[in-house]
Amino acid sequence: MKRFKWITAATLLAGMAILGATPARAGIVTLTITDGGQSATAQADSTTGLIVGGPTFSGGASGSFSSALLAGETTLAFTGTVGGIIFNMSTAATGNTPGTPALAFLNLSSNTINNPGGNGTQTFSVFTSATGYTMPTGLVQANFANSGTLTNGSVTGGAFSGSADGYIPTPLLFSATGSGVSLAGSDPTSFPTITGPFTISETLTATLAAGTQTATLGGTLTLTAAPEPSTVATALTGLGLVGLGALRRKFRTPA
């Protein structure tokens, strides 16, 4: 009889744990490439890594999307042509939604963007977002950075912007002319308070001059857990006590 009671109690507790468990939050990673007239877009489920709803092409854009889920990171990639701009390798968005207690990020990369000769000046935008982030929360450190290389030609009107849970960093602007020019910038100084759930979004816009222009562009918005003020104060207090103890031992040591 006692054994039956123990089994019943254990079953009840297990059922309560299941009912009280926080369900896994599905996030959606979206990637859109457009020149204002043509566009290509797709979405991927962060829990399965699969494209949902099918890609959408409009205005003559063409190409293909692929997606993958690896080590908790969802990647959605595009290869094709939009408005005369050829994305030779892939334009990819990678996010780790729902995040971890220490880190949440969304990375946007465009590899080998080519404006072939005879096309004229071409302007394009790449937009990505990832929903369903729940971590980290509280005080976090935000780092917003862009990177890239102008392989050949010139790029103007370049801008990388983003947002996360109401935090909007200053857009990073870039322009360059030449070959092998490095494009980089960062904004690591903000410390927003995250409440969750939240969305991270990014937009990359650039104009490639007429002629044969080739560039590799990208950027990342990263949120890392920052030490709480009380934790920092405790650590500093501990260091002070250690130093005081060392001084007391020094003065107690006979000559």
What's the CA gap between 157 and 154, in Å, rounded? Answer: 10
> What pLDDT sits at residue 224?
94
Tokens of 127: 């937009």
Cβ atoms < 10 Å from Cβ of 35: 16
Is the predicted pLDDT of residue 133 greater than 90, yes or no?
Answer: yes
Q: What is the pLDDT averaged over residues 130-153?
A: 92
Domains of the chain by residue range: 26-235
**Residue 25 buriedness (CB in 10 A; 0-12 / 13-18 / 19+):** middle
pLDDT tens column, 45-100: 999 999 999 899 999 999 999 999 999 999 999 999 999 999 986 889 999 999 99
Q: Over the range 74-112, which residues count as b (16 or more CB within 10 Å of their CB) and which as e?
A: bbbbbbbbbbbbbbeebbbbbbbbbbeeeebbbbbbbbe
Rounded distance between C-alpha atoms, residue 56 and residue 49, angstroms? 18
Mean pLDDT of the chain: 82
Residue 54 half-sphere exposure toward CB, CA atoms < 13 A: 2
C-alpha radius of gyration, the chain, whole number: 25
In this prediction, residues 103-121 reach a mean pLDDT of 89
Average pLDDT over residues 221-243: 61
The yes-or-no verdict on residue 173 having pLDDT over 60 is yes
Instruction: Kindly indicate the confidence band of residue 229, based on its pLDDT and cuts at 50, 70 and 90.
Output: low
Place of tokens 């290389």: 149
